[in-house]
Amino acid sequence: MKLHIAHLYPELLNIYGDKGNVTAFLKRCLWRDIQAEITEINPGDQIDPELYDFYFIGGGQDAQQIAVADELQIQKETLHQAANNGAVFLAICGGYQLLGHYYKPHNGDKLAGISILDAYTVAGNTRYIGNVTVNINIPHSNLNTLVGFENHSGLTYLQGDTKPLGTVKVGNGNNGSDKTEGAVYKNVFGTYLHGSLLPKNPHFTDYLIKLALEKKYGKIQLSELPDDIELLAHKNAVNKKY
Ligand code: GLN
Per-residue pLDDT of the chain (242 residues; tens, 9 = 90+): 999 999 999 999 999 989 999 999 999 999 999 999 999 999 999 999 999 999 999 999 888 999 999 999 999 999 999 999 999 999 999 999 999 999 999 988 999 999 999 999 999 999 999 999 999 999 989 899 999 999 999 999 999 999 999 999 999 999 999 999 999 999 999 999 998 999 999 999 999 999 999 999 999 999 999 999 999 999 999 999 88
| 167-191 exposure pattern, b = at least 16 Cβ within 10 A, e = fewer | bbbbbbbbbeeebbbbbbbbbbbbb
Strand residues in 49-144 grouped as ranges (E): 54-57, 88-92, 102-104, 111-112, 119-135
Ligand 1 interacting residues, C-beta cut-off 6 A: 15, 59-62, 65, 93-94, 151-154
Query: For residue 4, what are the contacts with CB-CB under 8 A and spacing of at least 6?
Result: 36, 37, 39, 51, 52, 53, 54
Rounded-to-5 percentages of helix, strand, coil across the chain: 30, 30, 40
The strand pair at 166-170 and 180-181 is best described as antiparallel
Cα 207 → chain centroid: 13
**Domains observed in the chain:** 2-239 (3.40.50.880)
What are the beta bridge partners of residue 56? 7, 90
The catalytic position among 4, 194, 203, 234 is: 194
Q: State which ligand 1 atom lies nearest to the alpha carbon of 92.
A: 8
**Cα distance between residue 215 and residue 218, in whole Å:** 6
